[in-house]
């Protein structure tokens, strides 16, 4: 069974950092695309970052230079390092497996982890 | 950035009725559109990919159509479990973007 489990969310002050983890089971991240998507409180979905199976990455402009996606294939885990956090980064963060060309269709999602940026 | 506009913020319908949801792209995205369903407190679930292909285990009452800039998700006969928020999403151009969602609520 394919599963994705996020962790690492919590309360952080503006300007602070957090690292989110996404542990996969039922498939190997090494040959799959994994994205991070977030949802602000009462808001819609926003794609943030993609990790290609070959290790390349792609980012939304809103997080480029602040967030870094990476993977540890030995742990079947993808990470999202978030720096210089702002209030508008408050959201539930989901990781999702991508299918199709460049992994742009998300067929499995984790349950999400809540990040709250507040002083 | 491609903007996806879901014309209805909400639809009020009864079980057994037909639901027709629309999504318009700000420029042509060919057939690179997906639809997701999200219930409160849950992650989105993929329903339709590449405009008209049902994802694994999605009931036949869900269908998608369209290409270019105009797309439709149809739920032929609403079941109680179909009342949720539906999002469209494009993968034609970076950054991938979502529509703002349409809430299908019980009338």
Residues of B whose CB is below 8 A from A110 = 43
Lowest mean pLDDT among A27-31, A45-49, A78-82: A27-31
Q: Do B50 and A105 touch (CB under 8 A)?
A: yes
Residues of B whose CB is below 8 A from A60 = 95
pLDDT tens digits, A103-117: 899 999 999 999 999
Phi, psi of A21 (to 5 degrees): -120, 150
Which of A46, A60, A106 faces B46 most closely, judged by CB atoms?
A106
CA distance B40 to B104: 12
How close, in Å, is residue B65 to chain A by CA atoms? 16
pLDDT tens digits, B31-88: 999 999 999 999 999 999 999 999 999 999 999 999 999 999 999 999 999 999 999 9
CA distance A110 to A113: 9
Nearest to A79 by CA among A4, A15, A26: A4
Residues of A whose CB is below 8 A from B89 = 45, 47, 105-106
Q: Do B43 and A60 touch (CB under 8 A)?
A: no
Nearest to A51 by CA among A27, A65, A72, A33: A33
Which of B42, B91, B101 faces A105 most closely, judged by CB atoms?
B91
- Among chain A residues, the shortest Cα distance to B41 is held by A111
Does B64 reach chain A within 8 Å, measured CB to CB? no
Residues of A whose CB is below 8 A from B42 = 111
Q: How far apart are the first and last CA of chain A?
A: 40
Residue A36: which residues within 8 A CB-CB, separation 6 or more? A20, A22, A47, A48, A49, A67, A69, A78, A80, A93, A94, A95, A96
pLDDT tens digits, A37-49: 999 999 999 999 9
Does B57 reach chain A within 8 Å, measured CB to CB? no
């Amino acid at each position: 069974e394919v599963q994705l489990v996020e962790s690492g969310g919590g309360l952080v002050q503006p300007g602070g950092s957090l690292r989110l983890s996404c542990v996969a089971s039922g498939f190997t991240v090494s040959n799959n695309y994994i994205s991070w998507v977030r949802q602000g409180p009462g808001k819609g979905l926003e794609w943030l970052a993609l990790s290609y199976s070959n290790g390349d990455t792609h980012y939304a402009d809103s997080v480029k230079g602040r967030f870094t996606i990476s993977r540890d294939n030995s742990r079947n885990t993808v990470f999202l390092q978030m720096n210089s956090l702002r209030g508008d980064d408050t959201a539930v963060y989901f990781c999702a497996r991508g299918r199709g060309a460049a992994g742009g269709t998300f067929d499995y999602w984790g349950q999400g982890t809540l990040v709250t940026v507040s002083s | 950035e491609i903007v996806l506009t879901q014309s209805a913020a909400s639809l009020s319908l009864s079980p057994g009725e037909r639901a027709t949801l629309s999504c318009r792209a700000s420029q042509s995205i060919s057939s690179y559109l997906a639809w997701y369903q999200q219930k409160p407190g849950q992650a989105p679930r993929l329903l339709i990919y590449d405009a008209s292909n049902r994802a694994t285990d999605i009931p036949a009452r869900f269908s998608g159509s369209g290409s270019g800039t105009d797309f439709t998700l149809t739920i032929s006969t609403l079941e109680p479990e179909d009342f949720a928020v539906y999002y469209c999403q494009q993968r034609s151009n970076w950054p991938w973007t979502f529509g703002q969602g349409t809430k299908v609520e019980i009338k």
